[in-house]
Chain A
């Protein structure tokens, strides 16, 4: 695994890319042949960012065993201004609802001094956009935004040079505004399009290009409305699931009876006998394509298969199982996740109180409302696939490898997608649709059913966390030992000042397919840490906020804790009868969050979350309203994992693979919410889609403890629901 370089030179600690990025072998291996391809851009100005030693780009993830993408390509981003002055930006990032389309438009618009809505963003099309490792790990803002900012600033320089040449004036007498370069003295102005004068100019970004500091932003830093919102509210936006191609068929895939099941026997005849139905059997892959979804379903139902299944662990024994079944590679990431300082023995000896506890976290599902889907089409040996994935170039590699064609003969296009939350890193539907399309000789659309999505995608890892800590009566932490089994190493180290620490991540053999998820293990690790810290505060009779601040120097974490507390009224009011207040905070991927919760508990009754106040800081804010929207959304999603979301499974079968049985937050679950955004224009912008989720569960758990004296150490904390 590799560590992304930080481009800030500031205090951004190492950002851990997903430990559970999926690096599995492909499920199917097929064979195809080769063909050439080329890329074309029209006339005008093209500005490229060449990635060199000052690389701002995230590295593509490498697969164990050395397979996978052959390293970063040299162009990180590019921008095109055509003869009409139309500005088009090309980026491999995908829009999955995080509003990165709008945010990236804003940073480009800022440098070119035009409205954000005039920027055309071409995103996530492997034939048209530069290589990008994927949209995950909160990397778009810290990495892609600075690249585009530099590209756009360089384009502005080119326009100024052209105008200076044409007007025969010095560059410093020119200003750029409103899509024009103007010479104040002569009042002459040149539109961007005119300046190109039909040339085809290609420029690389100079190392010394000057971008606009956040303190001077006029377009970035403002709440520009979501671009394309009109196409969404009118139903005109075409998600992958909405696409149609001429002659397109609808696909369905036969699923095994359980995980790890092998095909014992299969009868295809009855399905094959249906007119207009293509049936494919290729190894363990069995699928059908037909003129309508209904016909495909009917054909699939005619296939009789017998599967050989094996006994597998269930959710009831999963935590013992994970601790017993260790896998290679604990720690990983060059030892990140493992840390030791001082001596636990000395630290515990110096403590007045010791506290040991075990926390657990269940597997949960991403549940993107648009299930995995793909439309695949072969034309003269070239494969084009439209699919909702967070890793278009990764899926292109997977397709090329699976069908044994060069990557240039595979094009992956990602329409703005119906969410991902870290759940769409893989390309199963792309491969399946492509296999069916190849056999049928026609384009094929494949949309996973909700049950397939719940079963055959992947899950946020379950985990067990053992914590042992020591504290003195004066409120100072003396010792901290923390072992995470399986759930991951994100945010595993505390920011509290503790002289004696031992931190370790231990890999385990997960019985379920597991992978990335919004904030990943930062949620589990923050839950365990912040619940335990709360317990320690109560043990030495300290106010939980005061206790945290006493052990904390990190100014950014202190700032969000204090902001959340202030807006919540922490210490100003006491909870009413049966109510409790809780606070928790954390850091992940360059941003800081604190959440205050109020819960209400009736005797023997359900838990009700009454109020959540979240303070969040991710450096300079690019779009305040969209940031607020992300924070609110993460908090609501966090409620589900905190209180009731859990995958139930037994013998390789998911027991609750439907919305009826797997409860996600709905309208009535949403408490009163307040979001406090701290804008740090002096700091680079970090990603924001993930971190705001991490403090929700411990804040609620801590509030439950205050209300009831009961410490809940398992996520979800109230699987039977919280409706009052």
Chain B
């Protein structure tokens, strides 16, 4: 039978006794009830399933559970701390950067990874970093605006 896989999800150590070839997305959603990451395409093309693996934005739909052994996974459920929204979450709300919202969590996770590497991204850098995330409702310019607003609020908080 399957060998148990151990990983850290949102800073909690988790041991999973299931087929290691299953997608991380399915395990997060169906086994751990972390449904903030979404199925959009299953081919790593739309970004709705984005989570952070050791800080890197990763498409969980094309990542197998086995490949995550021992790694640290952060999902949208793990970024707001102590009842406070992450600055990006707040900025997406303030900028009205969503319509149906199905892409939103993936956008925020990709945004988190971007801001961890680049604290002052230009519009072009944002577009490049986020090109793998689709918003079919077309709120792209608002998402860019939200990322800038998050940058501003994080700078403010850092003072």
Question: Which A positions have Cβ atoms within 8 angstroms of B?
Answer: 96-99, 225-226, 229-230, 232-239, 241-242, 244, 250, 292-294, 367-371, 416-419, 421, 447, 449-450, 625-626, 629-630, 632-637, 658-660, 664-668, 670, 673
- Looking at the assembled complex, report how far the CB atom of B57 sits from the nearest CB atom of chain A, in whole angstroms: 14
On whether the beta carbons of A97 and B40 are closer than 8 Å, the reply is no
On whether the beta carbons of B108 and A670 are closer than 8 Å, the reply is no
Bound-complex Cα distance A358 to B21 (A)? 53
Bound-complex Cα distance A716 to B134 (A)? 20
Contacts of A418 in B (CB 8 A): 38, 100-102
On whether the beta carbons of A629 and B96 are closer than 8 Å, the reply is yes
Within 26-48 of B, Cβ neighbours of A (below 8 Å) are at 26, 29-30, 33-43, 45-46, 48
On whether the beta carbons of A450 and B134 are closer than 8 Å, the reply is no
- Looking at the assembled complex, report how far the CB atom of A616 sits from the nearest CB atom of chain B, in whole angstroms: 15
B89 interface residue per 8 A CB criterion: yes
B137 interface residue per 8 A CB criterion: yes
B7 interface residue per 8 A CB criterion: no
On whether the beta carbons of B100 and A235 are closer than 8 Å, the reply is no
- Looking at the assembled complex, report how far the CB atom of B114 sits from the nearest CB atom of chain A, in whole angstroms: 12
Contacts of B18 in A (CB 8 A): 292
On whether the beta carbons of A232 and B30 are closer than 8 Å, the reply is no
Knowing A237-B101, A241-B38, A419-B102, the reply to whether A667 touches B92 (Cβ < 8 A) is no
Pairs across A and B, CB under 8 Å, 30 listed: A229-B92, A229-B96, A232-B98, A233-B98, A233-B108, A234-B36, A234-B77, A235-B75, A238-B35, A242-B35, A250-B30, A368-B100, A368-B102, A369-B100, A369-B135, A450-B40, A450-B46, A629-B96, A629-B99, A633-B99, A658-B41, A659-B43, A659-B46, A660-B45, A664-B134, A666-B133, A667-B130, A667-B131, A667-B140, A667-B144
- Looking at the assembled complex, report how far the CB atom of B37 sits from the nearest CB atom of chain A, in whole angstroms: 7
Closest to A671 in B: B141
B128 interface residue per 8 A CB criterion: yes
Contacts of B39 in A (CB 8 A): 241, 371, 447
Contact with A244, one of B19, B33, B144 (Cβ below 8 angstroms):
B33
Bound-complex Cα distance A626 to B126 (A)? 23
Knowing A450-B43, A634-B138, A660-B43, the reply to whether A666 touches B76 (Cβ < 8 A) is no
On whether the beta carbons of A666 and B48 are closer than 8 Å, the reply is no
Contacts of A244 in B (CB 8 A): 33
Bound-complex Cα distance A660 to B93 (A)? 30
Bound-complex Cα distance A293 to B127 (A)? 34
On whether the beta carbons of A235 and B131 are closer than 8 Å, the reply is no
Contacts of A368 in B (CB 8 A): 100, 102, 136
Knowing A633-B137, A664-B134, A667-B127, the reply to whether A234 touches B101 (Cβ < 8 A) is no
- Looking at the assembled complex, report how far the CB atom of A374 sits from the nearest CB atom of chain B, in whole angstroms: 14
On whether the beta carbons of B144 and A233 are closer than 8 Å, the reply is no
Contacts of B26 in A (CB 8 A): 292-294
On whether the beta carbons of A626 and B105 are closer than 8 Å, the reply is no
On whether the beta carbons of B30 and A666 are closer than 8 Å, the reply is no
Bound-complex Cα distance A310 to B145 (A)? 51
- Looking at the assembled complex, report how far the CB atom of B33 sits from the nearest CB atom of chain A, in whole angstroms: 7
Contacts of B40 in A (CB 8 A): 369-371, 450
Closest to A448 in B: B39
Bound-complex Cα distance A668 to B122 (A)? 13
Bound-complex Cα distance A419 to B45 (A)? 18
Bound-complex Cα distance A234 to B126 (A)? 21
Contacts of B138 in A (CB 8 A): 632-637, 665, 670
Bound-complex Cα distance A226 to B108 (A)? 17
On whether the beta carbons of B30 and A293 are closer than 8 Å, the reply is yes
Closest to A99 in B: B99
Chain B interface mostly: loop
Bound-complex Cα distance A367 to B96 (A)? 22
B139 interface residue per 8 A CB criterion: yes
Bound-complex Cα distance A235 to B98 (A)? 13
On whether the beta carbons of A419 and B105 are closer than 8 Å, the reply is no
- Looking at the assembled complex, report how far the CB atom of A670 sits from the nearest CB atom of chain B, in whole angstroms: 5
Contacts of B105 in A (CB 8 A): 232-233, 235
Within 84-103 of B, Cβ neighbours of A (below 8 Å) are at 85, 89-90, 92-93, 96, 98-103
On whether the beta carbons of B92 and A233 are closer than 8 Å, the reply is yes
Given A367-B136, A418-B101, A670-B138, 18 additional A-B pairs, CB 8 A: A232-B104, A233-B89, A234-B36, A234-B77, A235-B105, A292-B30, A369-B103, A370-B100, A371-B40, A417-B100, A419-B99, A450-B46, A632-B138, A635-B138, A636-B140, A665-B140, A667-B143, A670-B140
B22 interface residue per 8 A CB criterion: yes
* CB < 8 Å A-B pair total: 171
B118 interface residue per 8 A CB criterion: no
Contacts of A293 in B (CB 8 A): 26, 30
B119 interface residue per 8 A CB criterion: no
Contact with A369, one of B48, B128, B141 (Cβ below 8 angstroms):
B48
On whether the beta carbons of A419 and B104 are closer than 8 Å, the reply is no
Contact with A233, one of B30, B34, B35, B104 (Cβ below 8 angstroms):
B104
On whether the beta carbons of A666 and B85 are closer than 8 Å, the reply is no
On whether the beta carbons of A234 and B139 are closer than 8 Å, the reply is no
Contacts of B85 in A (CB 8 A): 230, 233-234
On whether the beta carbons of A664 and B141 are closer than 8 Å, the reply is no
Bound-complex Cα distance A235 to B76 (A)? 6
B142 interface residue per 8 A CB criterion: yes
Closest to A665 in B: B138
Bound-complex Cα distance A630 to B136 (A)? 12
Contact with B77, one of A235, A449, A667 (Cβ below 8 angstroms):
A235
B80 interface residue per 8 A CB criterion: yes
Contact with A632, one of B21, B102, B128, B139 (Cβ below 8 angstroms):
B139
Contacts of B144 in A (CB 8 A): 667
Closest to B41 in A: A450
Contacts of B101 in A (CB 8 A): 97, 229, 232-233, 237, 416, 418
Contacts of B37 in A (CB 8 A): 235
Interface centre among B48, B89, B137 (most CB of A within 10 A): B137
Closest to A98 in B: B99
Within 110-155 of B, Cβ neighbours of A (below 8 Å) are at 126-128, 130-131, 133-144
On whether the beta carbons of B36 and A236 are closer than 8 Å, the reply is yes
On whether the beta carbons of A659 and B127 are closer than 8 Å, the reply is no
- Looking at the assembled complex, report how far the CB atom of A387 sits from the nearest CB atom of chain B, in whole angstroms: 15
Contact with B35, one of A235, A367, A369 (Cβ below 8 angstroms):
A235
- Looking at the assembled complex, report how far the CB atom of B48 sits from the nearest CB atom of chain A, in whole angstroms: 6
On whether the beta carbons of B128 and A668 are closer than 8 Å, the reply is yes
Bound-complex Cα distance A151 to B34 (A)? 40
On whether the beta carbons of B77 and A369 are closer than 8 Å, the reply is no
Closest to B78 in A: A235
Contacts of B33 in A (CB 8 A): 244
On whether the beta carbons of B36 and A419 are closer than 8 Å, the reply is no
- Looking at the assembled complex, report how far the CB atom of B121 sits from the nearest CB atom of chain A, in whole angstroms: 12
Bound-complex Cα distance A266 to B140 (A)? 46
Contacts of B133 in A (CB 8 A): 666-667
Contacts of B134 in A (CB 8 A): 369, 659, 664, 666
- Looking at the assembled complex, report how far the CB atom of A405 sits from the nearest CB atom of chain B, in whole angstroms: 30
On whether the beta carbons of B140 and A97 are closer than 8 Å, the reply is no
Contacts of A630 in B (CB 8 A): 99
- Looking at the assembled complex, report how far the CB atom of A724 sits from the nearest CB atom of chain B, in whole angstroms: 12
Bound-complex Cα distance A163 to B99 (A)? 40
Contacts of B41 in A (CB 8 A): 450, 658-659
